[in-house]
Amino acid sequence: QEAATLTARFNQDVGITGAILTKMDGDTRGGAALSVRGVSGKPIKFVGVGEGMDDLEPFFPDRMASRILGLGDIQTLIEKAQTAMDFDKAAQIGKKMQKGDFDFDDFILQSQSVRKMGGMGGMLKMIPGMAGKITDEMLFEAEKRMKQTEIIVNAMTEEERKNPDLIVRVGGKKELVKEATDRRVALAKKSGVSVDEIDRFVIEFSNMRRMMVQQLKGMDLDSTANDPNAPMITMKERLAQEKKARKVKPSRGGGGGFGASR
């Protein structure tokens, strides 16, 4: 209601050609969008989805209606992904994931990409069917957890970020396991979180890295790197496609027919 009142007053005193609706971080703001249009007769040009200037995005009524109805907004999600991601870096990280070399620096890059896309909440609301299943409390906890993990990673040394085994090691030689345990205790002090939180993050990171290797095993990431729009296929499938597309060379041989010449 306040948005509609302010818009009407500005339109009356100054005259406007359009409006910017800030804090468009909840689907309940759809009512405010309708009110702004109704009282001023002017369109909404941009909406704010965060706190910074980079968080202004063009307003599309049909896409907003789709989000409110829980149908998602795949088009905006794709556009945000194209803007937020460096596809060359994404391809490099993908290969590191496949080999199990994914490190904490890569983790931070992925987190920053998610933030550029509107955070975890912004992404989930644009996925069809997810809006009604994720509560605001769940989104708040997810965002809080993501910020905490970034604080933990930023408190690591450069060597630890490049070599996660220095932190996550829990088996093997006793001296190396003890060194990793000591590093986690020191990291807890530097980051201001408990040792239990560090251990929890370490377990999550290790499981995530293991899952990446399993999911990407045998996948042909080079094709995706050359063409981001190409579907992800296995190396076996790519070789089969190349074999199928390969032209059979014509056989050599002379002409001739049946019978003998005289």
Average pLDDT over residues 79-107: 77
The first and second tokens of residue 185, run together, are 């205790």
Is pLDDT above 90 for 183?
yes
More confident residue, 257 or 162: 162
Q: Are 184 and 202 in contact (CB under 8 A)?
A: yes
pLDDT given at position 43 = 79
Rounded Cα distance between 26 and 71, Å, is: 15
pLDDT given at position 258 = 46
147, 162, 169, 228, 251 from 191: Cα distances, Å: 12, 18, 19, 37, 71
pLDDT given at position 100 = 84
Q: Are 205 and 156 in contact (CB under 8 A)?
A: no
Q: What is the DSSP letter of 232?
A: P
Is pLDDT above 60 for 54?
yes
196 falls in which pLDDT band (50, 70, 90)? very high
Average pLDDT over residues 98-116: 83
* pTM for the predicted model, two decimal places: 0.56
Name the average pLDDT for the chain: 74
Quote the percentage of the chain above a pLDDT of 90. 21
Is pLDDT above 70 for 74?
no
pLDDT given at position 111 = 82
